[in-house]
Amino acid sequence: MSKESKIVLTGDRPTGRLHLGHFVGSIKNRIKLQNEYDKSFYMIADIQGLTDNANNPQKVRDNVIEVMLDNLACGLDPEKTTMFIQSEVPEIAELTVIFLNLVTLARLKRNPTVKDEMKQKGFGEDVPAGFLCYPISQAADILFAKANLIPVGEDQLPVIEQANEIVDTFNRFYGDTFTKVKHLVGDTPRLIGIDGGVKMGKSLNNAIYLSDSFDEISKKVMSMYTDPDHIHVEDKGKVEGNVVFAYLDIFDSNKEEVSGLKEQYKKGGLGDVVIKKRLIQVLENIINPIRTKREELAENPEQVMKILEDGTKKARESAKETMAEVRKALKINYF
């Protein structure tokens, strides 16, 4: 084992623009940790994106730049973070094939996140094998770099748990090679959707995107679910289950004022429009600088691709080192 350096790694599937759920669940941590860790990696998980978009490679291709713009606009810094494309590091695919032998089909089918996603996508038993196995390939995403901290949203915890099982089995079969990884979820591990649904998701149609315009933000906030019995301004209102207050709790930094508004709302005399207008401004204050930076970066897509090209070269160096070790451990280092 090389000396324990602190390595952080995360990634996104390039299947759509990123939203506020990504921001509070994982992106904020990425930005912070790139300053604190010895090494930081960020992966565009295009191969994982293809596991449920095999018939639509154009979608995956088009979104590579979109998720890069989202991350760069939020402050991920190519000087500090090695940003790379999964498919351009073939060692990850090699490692995945080796890991496939360490996980049973029954275990794959038990992963609650994969189960949820399969239900959501309507796969049933006809799930693509690659999709069912994505936790294995994600273990390879993480372990090729010998990363030890993974900032993710709460939904990814079962995937990280599987990665650690793979570490255990690998080390038991082939000798100490990998160390277990830790996850880090943000202070809001799971953001509810604008419809009040349990999770904000691009496929759930309930997301506010980091690239949304002021008008889009306004329209979405105005459509938010509040309290169905709060009809007249003077009516007493409920704060629990009220999406607008749930968001104010998370995004409004003036906690005192928010708690005052809650009291007023409960007593009666505070209209939905007032709290919605406040939330629109709060979200605009967060998204406006991201949107502006994003637009600037979008003018120069070649520069963004160059960041990925340089990062991928660097990532491959780590990958080659790890693969040499793995080949030796498995006695498949022939020539």
Question: In the complex, which residues of this chain contact ligand TRP (CB under 6 A)?
Answer: 9-13, 43, 45, 48, 138, 141-142, 150, 152, 156
Comparison of 42 and 247: residue with beta carbon closer to ligand TRP: 42
255-267 and 243-251 helices, crossing angle to 10°: 160
Comparison of 67 and 208: residue with beta carbon closer to ligand TRP: 67
The β-bridge partners of 182 are 149
Could you tell me the smallest distance in angstroms from the CB atom of residue 134 to ligand TRP? Answer: 7
Could you tell me the smallest distance in angstroms from the CB atom of residue 89 to ligand TRP? Answer: 12
Could you tell me the smallest distance in angstroms from the CB atom of residue 268 to ligand TRP? Answer: 42
Contact present, 138 and 131 (Cβ < 8 Å)? no
Judging by DSSP bridges, how do beta strands 39-44 and 149-151 pair with one another?
A: unpaired
Could you tell me the smallest distance in angstroms from the CB atom of residue 189 to ligand TRP? Answer: 13
Comparison of 279 and 319: residue with beta carbon closer to ligand TRP: 319
Comparison of 89 and 217: residue with beta carbon closer to ligand TRP: 89
Could you tell me the smallest distance in angstroms from the CB atom of residue 232 to ligand TRP? Answer: 43
Could you tell me the smallest distance in angstroms from the CB atom of residue 119 to ligand TRP? Answer: 16
Q: How far is CA 62 from the centre of its chain?
A: 18
Contact present, 141 and 92 (Cβ < 8 Å)? yes
Could you tell me the smallest distance in angstroms from the CB atom of residue 116 to ligand TRP? Answer: 12
Distance separating alpha carbons of residues 85 and 80, to the nearest angstrom: 17
Comparison of 49 and 237: residue with beta carbon closer to ligand TRP: 49
Comparison of 25 and 78: residue with beta carbon closer to ligand TRP: 25
Could you tell me the smallest distance in angstroms from the CB atom of residue 93 to ligand TRP? Answer: 13
The alpha carbon dihedral of 67, 72, 75, 80 has a sign of: positive
3-state secondary structure of 199: coil
Distance separating alpha carbons of residues 89 and 309, to the nearest angstrom: 11
Comparison of 152 and 326: residue with beta carbon closer to ligand TRP: 152
Comparison of 13 and 316: residue with beta carbon closer to ligand TRP: 13
Comparison of 13 and 230: residue with beta carbon closer to ligand TRP: 13
Contact present, 252 and 280 (Cβ < 8 Å)? no
**Amino acid in position 238:** K
Distance separating alpha carbons of residues 119 and 135, to the nearest angstrom: 17
Outline where the chain has alpha helix (H).
20-22, 28-33, 46-50, 57-74, 90-100, 105-110, 112-121, 129-132, 134-143, 157-174, 214-222, 243-251, 255-267, 272-298, 301-329
User: H/E element holding 183?
Assistant: strand 182-184
Contact present, 286 and 253 (Cβ < 8 Å)? no
Could you tell me the smallest distance in angstroms from the CB atom of residue 218 to ligand TRP? Answer: 28
Give the residue among 76, 64, 81, 68 at the shortest CA–CA distance from 27: 76
Distance separating alpha carbons of residues 296 and 214, to the nearest angstrom: 17
